[in-house]
Amino acid sequence: MTLNQYIRDIQDFPKPGVVFKDITPLLANPQAVKQCMALLINNLKEQKIDKVVGVESRGFIFATLLAYELEAGFIPVRKPNKLPFETIASSYELEYGLDTLEIHTDAIKKGEKILIHDDVLATGGTAKAVCELVERLGGEIVQCNFLMELSFLHGREKINGYNVYAPLIY
């Protein structure tokens, strides 16, 4: 089984000129999800992870599964005004606009080992903003994990210096 067969291209979404990589066919296939999880977990090579940070919203799916498998806590990073407690924020550019992400101020204790997970590494703006949030709270980033990387957008360059992994590269 190749995971690529479960990623569907959607032309001109969310705006003209963008080819969106739709993971819903992958999510609908339990064997594809299992294979994806095996790749993501095996890549961590017995690393100690205290918490998994998942990025709204598609990043939550595998981040919660990873947290469960790693016996780690799960931390949601969300768009503004979605988290109920005190937050800190970081703004960033993405391939089709500007946005902001927030995290609870008490989500990470200084020195905790953090795995960041999102569904896609595109321009790297989102990942860089999340790395900034984690480090502002004192977390130590073990790895930035993605289901897929759009290498032609050079997002890795924005998070240079971090361990980055994506089983699917386009």
Catalytic residue IDs? 58, 95
Question: Per the omega criterion (within 30 degrees of 0), is the bond before 57 cis?
Answer: yes
The DSSP element (H or E) to which 169 belongs, if any, is strand 168-169
CA distance 26 to 4: 9
Site of tokens 């709270």: 137
CA distance to 23, 101, 144, per residue, from 63 (Å): 14, 16, 11
Bridge partner residues of 52 (DSSP): 74, 115
**DSSP per position, 11-69:** ET-SSTT-EEEE-HHHHT-HHHHHHHHHHHHHTTTT---SEEEEETTHHHHHHHHHHHH
Long-range contacts of 13-17 (CB under 8 A, 24+ apart): 14/96, 15/96
